[in-house]
Amino acid sequence: MIIQRYHLQSFPMKPSIRDVRHAAGPWHATWLTYLLTLLSLIMMPSISQAIEEPAYTTVRTFPEFEIRQYAAYTVAEVLVPDPASDAGSRAFPILAGYIFGKNKGERKLAMTAPVTQTAAPTKLKMTAPVTQSAATGGMLVQFVLPKGTNMENAPEPLDPRVMLREVPPRRVAVIRYSGFWSESNYDKHVTILQEGMRSADIASKGEPELARYDSPVTPWFMRRNEIWINVD
């Protein structure tokens, strides 16, 4: 990376914005704006650093991935049709409506991370408040509910598409990466994870899950993305 340095002219003790623009010139002012914007992006804290996420312990670490043991947690989830590429954007307004008060009692829940996405099985387990039902498949998008929220005290959704479910304690293989939420980026890292698991003789079960910890406005190079695969 090449950094060019520019020296501005001397200003009075309290220069105005007009003075700065005039002295720097339009080209210099453009670069100054660019640098200030870049610095603000770099200094902006990632959402994943401030938002609660499920508790886990790291069991084992490999060069490309790690094994985690997660405690039980509760999720609000919605089933949306394929394709996977925009499943998150279609599910987000539905799930966000639930945690922001579209539930019985209009109770607002804290935002947590990550938002997970996985291929849905052909039949869903019993959830609340929706009873067991058959599904034709699709993508299952989940919001992790705050610590202390469970099936007994979680507010009942008003939208019948929102389902509540407790995820039991489990062990998962996890690869972490940054970048865009593109299919090519996902495919690249799920392949690395699966090959690493085979090399380590670790058996897997179920479909991979895409876990996203940051909002869409987070710069791509600062995003925390993960892929989870259940360990048999």
pLDDT band at 77 (very low <50, low <70, confident <90, very high): very high
Instruction: Verify that 113 and 30 share a domain, yes or no.
Output: no
Instruction: Verify that 66 and 31 share a domain, yes or no.
Output: no
pLDDT band at 171 (very low <50, low <70, confident <90, very high): very high
Q: Give the chain's mean pLDDT.
A: 75
The CATH number covering residue 114 comes to: 3.20.80.10
Structural domain includes residue 27: yes
pLDDT digits (tens, 9 = 90+) for 136-158: 578 888 888 888 999 999 999 99
Instruction: Verify that 35 and 98 share a domain, yes or no.
Output: no
Instruction: Verify that 34 and 51 share a domain, yes or no.
Output: no
Residue 182 has a pLDDT of 87
Structural domain includes residue 120: yes
Instruction: Verify that 157 and 214 share a domain, yes or no.
Output: yes
**Model pTM?**
0.69
Range of the domain at 34: 17-45
| Residue entry with tokens 């387990």 | 125
Burial category of 140 from C-beta neighbours within 10 Å (exposed 0-12, middle 13-18, buried 19 and up): buried
Q: CA dist 180 to 5, 67, 220, Å?
A: 31, 24, 5
Residue 113 has a pLDDT of 74
Half-sphere exposure of 78 (CA within 13 A, CB side): 23
Residue 191 has a pLDDT of 97
Instruction: Verify that 52 and 114 share a domain, yes or no.
Output: yes
CA 17/CA 36 separation, integer angstroms:
15
Residue 7 has a pLDDT of 30
